[in-house]
Amino acid sequence: MRYAIIADIHGNLEALEAVLKDIQGQAVGKTFCLGDIVGYGADPQECMKRVRAVADLVVMGNHDAAVSGKLGLQYFNSYARDALVWTSGMVSAADLKYLGELPLMEKVDGFVVVHSSLYRPEVFPYLLTAVDAQLCFHLMDKDERVCFIGHSHVPFAFSLDEKEIGVSREAEVTLEDGTRYIVNVGSVGQPRDRDSRASYAVYDSEAASVETRRIGYDVVAAAEKIRKAGLPELLAERLFEGM
Ligand code: ZN
């Protein structure tokens, strides 16, 4: 089975549409979303509609949790907070309810998906270092060869064999027998690795491979909508920088 795994869309409809179009050419059987459908971007409601229409499985991101009242705004910086307050007024009551009822993690078909980490997913810690990765690896079941995450908006892969933890920033990762992986698929709507293109991953469970794909989209249009909505200027500017 081939899976498209998308994360951190953040109300960026231009980026989401470009990614969904690319997915159509990838012969995937299922599309999973790792959360943060909303927050930061100017099209939260439209993104909700698209994701709910295409995703076979969705887990909760910290912005999804905040906008639906499950996580306090004190956990966010002022830009994120302003955007969350604005977003909560733009999303339908039915979609807010949906966001608030999403699971934090799901185990499926020999792998696991979570927004932040398997270690205390309810407080959404960042998984950035080998130590963070170790905590997450410990919580993977024996039959799970890969854990897909989002949250930092930076695509990378940690691997753990019987000896040590490795890290890769290659776009293609081949899953070796006896090694387990944590793969961050990057962000659709607000990449932060100095590449402005949208990021998502295709996991092929038969071929045991993960490909991170980068898709260009109309950044100018997405940024313009953020400005028109009166959201913080920084949220528009950072899309061009990929930061
Ligand atoms: Zn995010």
pLDDT by residue (tens digit) across 159-195? Answer: 999 889 999 999 999 999 999 999 999 999 999 999 9
DSSP β-ladder status, 146-149 and 111-114: parallel
Ligand 1 centroid to 62 CA: how many Å?
7
H runs (alpha helix) in 127-229: 130-138, 219-228
For residue 35, the CA-to-ligand 1 centroid distance in Å is 8
Confidence at residue 95, expressed as pLDDT on a 0 to 100 scale? 98
Ligand 1: distance of its center to the CA of 178 in Å? 31
Q: What does the alpha-carbon distance between residue 77 and residue 84 come to, in Å, rounded to a whole number?
A: 10
Rounded CA-CA distance 146/194 in Å is: 26
Average pLDDT, the chain: 97
pLDDT value of residue 122: 96
Q: Does 241 score more than 90 pLDDT? A: yes
**Nearest one of 8, 37, 40, 21 to 225, comparing CA atoms:** 40
Residue 109 has pLDDT above 90, yes or no: no
pLDDT in tens, 57-91: 999 999 999 999 999 999 999 999 999 999 999 99
Taking the centre of ligand 1 as the mean of its atom positions, its distance from the CA of residue 84, in whole angstroms, is: 12
Q: Is the pLDDT of residue 13 over 90?
A: yes
- Percent helix, strand, coil in the chain, to 5, is 35, 20, 45
User: What 3 state SS string does 37-56 have?
Assistant: CCCCCCCHHHHHHHHHHHCC
Specify the amino acid at residue 241. Answer: E
In the structure, ligand 1 is a single-atom ion and the residues with CB under 5 Å from it are 8, 36
Separation of 91 CA from ligand 1 center, angstroms?
17
Q: Ligand 1 centre from 101 Cα, in Å?
A: 18
